[in-house]
Amino acid sequence: MTTAKHIQQRLLTFGNLLSAMVLPNIAAFIAWGLLAAIFSPSGWYPNAQINQIVAPIGNYLLPILLAFTGGSNVAGHRGGVVATIATIGILAGTNMVGLIAAMIIGPLAGWCVNVVDDRLRAHVPQGFEMLINNLSAGILGIILAIIGYLGIGPLLEVVERALLHGAVYLVDQNLLPLANVVIEPAKVLFMNNAINHGLLTPLGTQDAVHLGKSVLFLVETNPGPGLGILLAYAVLGRGTQKKSAFGAIIIEALGGIHEIYFPFVLMRPALFLAVIGGGVTGTFVFDLLDVGLKATPSPGSLISILLLTPHDGGDFLGVLIGITAATMVSFAVAILVLARENAHHLIKTTDLDVSVDNAIRNIVVTGTDGMGSPAMGAAVLRRKLRQLPDITISVTSKPINELTTSAETIFIVRHDLRQLLCDQLAEKPRIISIENYLNAPEYDGLLDELREIANQRDIFSETGLKGLGHGV
């Protein structure tokens, strides 16, 4: 594998890991966004008392949920508990929103739990397992909380401030459209509120005092880049991604909850190009047509933006043109990325070393332990196979170095470990290659093939499934 492909695989794995933390918690993001949209001072029905709920959700609940999900994805419930303890340390050490910090510490805490468990397992006396597990998790949580408080939190503050200074420099140099080169990726990494309220709102307010409007209020709040991403997924997405995109479009456009599209970008890091292109285009059009808003829209929905657009002049038309242009450019780039990904996926999933002649009794999910481990992949696949109760195939997980070839076994392995698996086994194995153990569309493809064989060919037997074809 070339260096470029290796890096691409790592980025895809990293993106899937991040999205696996966010997608299960989308409901919390929606609740947060709707509360802000309705009850904030610039919301639809301002209410200062109820609005006090908004900040704790963003500052504490969401980071803790993301961290728990990330930790539990890697190391089960204990991993999630350790991750939440560590996150509290980070939140205590920084005044900024800790979403991105939580997405780092969550999987890291789960990985640490797995490492500690592996080291202690052989030394725990019988009957003391629960005590040692709880004690080790508590101590590890304390250590990670201190590391987060002293190291991770302050380090991320430095990164966030660097991004803010970069955006300020571009604004000062009258290179406003290029500011989106920094702002759009930072938004997707959940720094959108810091950039908008910490930089663009104060600068825009100064402009609005003298001019009655400011284009700076549109730079971060423009829903166009996100709409383009979601529209592309609605057209070329697969499975749950496609289904989720339709609802997310309404939430993004009318609710102004930009966080709803961040996981879709994180799943495919190449889509950063789409949001950057859309953001730069939208800001360029706004600047060219000399349009702006009277105040910062919160949330950045089409409704809020149009309500804050000056009623005189051509600002309404200019704002709509800018949002539309941003949407079209983001959509065009995203379509190219997803089309390329789909073609690549089709090639991979149809080029499988699966024989049609042998019974299949076992599926082994293999690889190396750690983040996104084979054990988690096996658990995911077992849950999916419950939809087909007639199947008697066992699903297990083993490290590559413990495997032996079996004519009755299909091996599932990450793309970058495929050659290592082939080298380990004496005979040519039957392999399904995947990108991520937690969120592999190949699982659904395998399930569909099994269902088709069960329904159309009626070839299940007491010993397993025969005749699995090349389409798996």
**Torsion sign (Cα): 146, 150, 152, 157:** positive
CATH classification code of 352-466: 3.40.50.2300
Look over the chain and give the mean of its residue pLDDT values, rounded to a whole number. 77
**In which residue are the tokens 């300020």 written?**
168
pLDDT per residue over 419-447, tens digit each?
777 777 766 777 888 877 777 777 877 77
Q: In the chain, list all ranges with CATH 3.40.50.2300.
A: 352-466
pLDDT per residue over 181-211, tens digit each?
888 888 887 777 667 766 677 777 777 777 7
Whole-number Å distance between alpha carbons of 47 and 80: 35
Q: Is the pTM of this model over 0.85?
A: no
Predicted local distance difference test score (pLDDT) of residue 225? 93
pLDDT per residue over 318-375, tens digit each?
899 999 999 999 999 999 988 876 665 544 444 444 433 346 778 888 876 544 578 7
CB 258 within 8 A of CB 187: yes
Greater pLDDT, 3 or 149: 149
- Among the listed residues 80, 70, 60, 85, the one whose alpha carbon sits nearest the alpha carbon of residue 141: 85
Q: To the nearest 10°, the Cα dihedral for 222, 226, 231, 232?
A: 130
pLDDT per residue over 141-194, tens digit each?
999 999 888 888 788 777 777 766 776 677 667 777 888 888 888 888 777 766
Q: Which residue pairs, CB below 8 angstroms and at least 24 apart, start in 10-13?
A: 10/416, 11/269, 12/268, 12/269, 12/435, 12/436, 13/372, 13/414, 13/435, 13/436
CB atoms within 10 A of CB 70: 30
CB 185 within 8 A of CB 273: no
290-299: average pLDDT: 81
**In which region does residue 239 sit, left (phi positive, over 0), alpha (psi from -120 to 50) or beta (all else)?**
left
